Amino acid sequence: MIYTKNGRPLTQSGNDLYSRSGRHVARLRGKKAYAPDGRYVGTLVGDRLVYRSMESTSVGSAFVESSSRVGTSHMNRLGSSIMGEEPPIPD
């Protein structure tokens, strides 16, 4: 399980990340995650996805979103003190 900096759960399937509601929100390329339009979403640090403005100029290639998945009922975790901000991911 992967969480955002503030502890919101994300489901991982292969390189794809899904929000709690089941919406496809990003694809991992190495340690960086990109939205379907290719914009930077965050960097994976351990089990946390963190938005780092110094890496926000990074651009990935656009991709076709996979279909939504069934939502998850996983609980939030406590926030983390990792350097960076909460990534712009809808619930």
Which range marks the domain in which residue 44 is found? 1-86
Q: What is the pTM of this model?
A: 0.77
Helix, strand or coil for residue 53? helix
In this structure, is residue 91 part of a structural domain?
A: no
DSSP letter for each residue of 6-44? T--EEEEETTEEE-TTS-EEEEEETTEEE-TTSBEEEEE
Q: What is the mean pLDDT of residues 17-40?
A: 92
Is residue 29 a contact partner of residue 42, using CB atoms and an 8 Å limit? no
pLDDT higher than threshold 80 for residue 16: yes
79 vs 55, more confident: 55
How many structural domains is the chain composed of? 1
Tens of pLDDT along 36-72? 889 999 999 999 999 998 887 766 666 666 666 655 6
**In this structure, are residues 8 and 49 in contact, taking their beta carbons and an 8 Å threshold?**
no
Q: Can you give the pLDDT at residue 66?
A: 66
Strand 40-45 and strand 16-18: pairing? unpaired
* Residue 76 · residue 10 · CB < 8 Å: no
Q: Quick one: average pLDDT of 9-31?
A: 93
